[in-house]
Amino acid sequence: MNDTVKSIATLLKDLDGILIFPHINMDGDALGSSTAICLALRELGKKAYVMINEPVPKNLDFLECSCTTDDDKVLDEVQLSLLIDCNGMNRITGREDAFNRGKLKGCIDHHMSKHSDIRFDFKRMEAKSAATGEIIYNLIKALGVPLSLDMANCIFTAITTDTGNFQHSNTTARTHDIVGHLHKIEGFNSKTISALIYDRKSKGAMHLEAEVLDKLNYYADGKIAVGRITQELLKRHGCTMDESEGIAPRIMSVDGVEIGVLIKESEMNVRVSLRAKSYANMERVASEFGGGGHIMAAGCTFTTSVDETEKALVPKLIEAL
Ligand SMILES: [Mn+2]
């Protein structure tokens, strides 16, 4: 089942009382897409909110646009719960009850995942969209709502962050077409938004990045580079994990690196992000450890220590070369 943007727009026009759910560890696409569609629905006179239960990352604070709330009683009646940039209950941990209040359930996403533990009344999954923000852009157009400056800023953020600032292989002609349209919105300035997203790092985050890059472990003649972020390191530099956002692309920019790995130790487990520069299949490696993702970018979770995780991963990464 994959509904058309047009049919979803028709359905949305008849609904009121809409809760929108970005995934946990929200990123620019999840929050930007959620806020953009929230603003468009409000423009149509509807009551809509973006439901979150964690702090908005500092560099994304301009995306809130008075849409976010952590009050699951904010609406008396919820006609629709809309999941954005993900498709399973495990991506909205702590907000399950709020989500289940929706009489209808919908999903708009661009991740490759065949199965979901949610029965959606409608769903739009576009694996070829660089960002969920691309789908949301088309949905707002289909709703007939003129794009406001806030909506344009949200969609630009969704797209620039999910494409690695237009450097990832998911970037298409459509991606640039949409951004071209954003530039025509009165007051829109991509430089201003880029500076808000990318140029507000704390000094601690800069020191964290420097130390992770300084201590990269190289394997296979430098084709594999592994970075590690431990709780101790975060504490020492006074950082939170979401401040490590820019480190993975830095690892990939080392000459000769085909596979870049970032091992992140949280309080509960160890999360690994895997990236390939041109040919290695990261989706296959991640799935061997129960994870998933795309060919060029994938992830998996371990319950072992950072050292043990690296030790288990490296042979599989060498095989993938
Ligand atoms: Mn996304």
**209 and 193 in one domain?**
no
- Confidence band (pLDDT; 50, 70, 90) for 245? confident
What is the Å distance from ligand 1's center to 320 Cα? 25
Supply the pLDDT for residue 219: 98
Answer with the one of 156, 183, 198 that is the final residue of a domain.
198
How high is the pLDDT of residue 144? 98
Mean pLDDT of all residues in 251-259 = 97
* Nearest to 169, CA basis, from 279, 87, 299: 279
pLDDT at 25: 87
Same domain, 146 and 85: yes
Cα of 219 vs centre of ligand 1, distance in Å, is 30
Query: 29 C-alpha to center of ligand 1: Å?
Result: 5
What is the 296 CA–ligand 1 centroid distance (Å)? 14
Range with the poorest average pLDDT among 5-14, 96-105, 112-121, 226-235: 112-121
Q: What is the pLDDT of residue 318?
A: 98
49: nearest Cα among 32, 62, 35: 35
- Ligand 1 centre to CA of 151 (Å) is 17
Same domain flag for 142 and 256: no
**Ligand 1 centroid from CA 298, angstroms:** 13
CA of 125 from ligand 1 middle (Å) equals 11
Same domain, 63 and 183: yes
Which CATH number goes with the domain that contains 110? Answer: 3.90.1640.10
The CA 37 to ligand 1 mean position distance, Å, reads: 15
- CA distance linking residue 108 with residue 129, whole number of Å: 11
pLDDT at 53: 96
User: Could you say which of 198, 219, 254 is where a domain stops?
Assistant: 198
**pLDDT (tens digit per residue) in 117-128:** 899 999 999 999
- How does pLDDT run across 32-83, given as a tens digit for each residue? 999 999 999 999 999 999 999 999 998 999 999 999 999 989 999 999 999 9
Same domain, 42 and 178: yes
Q: Say whether both 176 and 209 belong to one domain.
A: no
Q: Is the pLDDT of residue 238 over 80?
A: yes
Residue 109 confidence (pLDDT): 95
Report the mean per-residue pLDDT for the chain. 95
Distance 22 CA to ligand 1 centre (A): 10
Chain position carrying tokens 């979150």: 52
pLDDT of res. 227: 98
Instruction: Say if residue 167 is in the same domain as residue 33.
Output: yes
pLDDT beyond 90 at 114: no
Q: How far is the CA of 32 from the centre of ligand 1 (A)?
A: 10
Same domain, 239 and 173: no
Pairing of strands 104-109, 217-219: unpaired
Percent of the chain with pLDDT over 70: 100
Based on the fold, state whether residues 22 and 158 are members of the same structural domain.
Answer: yes
pLDDT digits (tens, 9 = 90+) for 217-231: 999 999 999 999 999
pLDDT one-digit tens code per residue, 165-206: 999 889 999 999 999 999 999 999 999 999 999 999 999 999
Which backbone phi and psi does 308 adopt, to 5 degrees?
A: -65, -35
User: Which of 198, 231, 257 represents a domain boundary (last residue)?
Assistant: 198
pLDDT score of 112 more than 90: no
Residue 91 CA, ligand 1 centroid: distance in Å: 13
Which residues sit opposite 302 in a β-bridge?
A: 270
Distance (angstroms) between ligand 1 centre and the Cα of 172 equals: 15
- Higher-pLDDT residue of 111 and 303 is 303
Q: Rounded to the nearest 5°, which phi and psi values hold at 111? A: -95, 145
Task: Report how far residue 296's alpha carbon sits from residue 276's, in angstroms, rounded to the nearest whole number.
Answer: 5
3-state secondary structure of 302: strand
Partners of 80 in the β-ladder: 18, 104
CA of 132 to the centre of ligand 1 (A): 5
Residue 35 alpha carbon to ligand 1 centre in Å = 14
The domain spanning residue 256 has which CATH number?
Answer: 3.10.310.30
Mean pLDDT confidence for 254-283: 96
What pLDDT shows up at residue 173?
Answer: 98
Q: Which domain holds residue 122?
A: 5-198
* Same structural domain, 304 and 166: no
Q: Would you say residue 209 has pLDDT above 80?
A: yes
Does residue 82 sit in the same domain as residue 171?
A: yes
**Higher pLDDT pick, 253 / 116:** 253
Q: Structural domain tally of the chain? A: 2
The helix (run of H) or strand (run of E) holding residue 293 is: strand 292-293
**Residue 311 — very low, low, confident or very high, per pLDDT cuts 50/70/90?**
very high
How many angstroms does the Cα of residue 126 sit away from the middle of ligand 1? Answer: 11
Co-location of 114 and 219 in the same domain: no
The DSSP line for 229-277 is: E-HHHHHHHT--GGGGTTHHHHHHTSTT-SEEEEEEE-SS-EEEEEEES
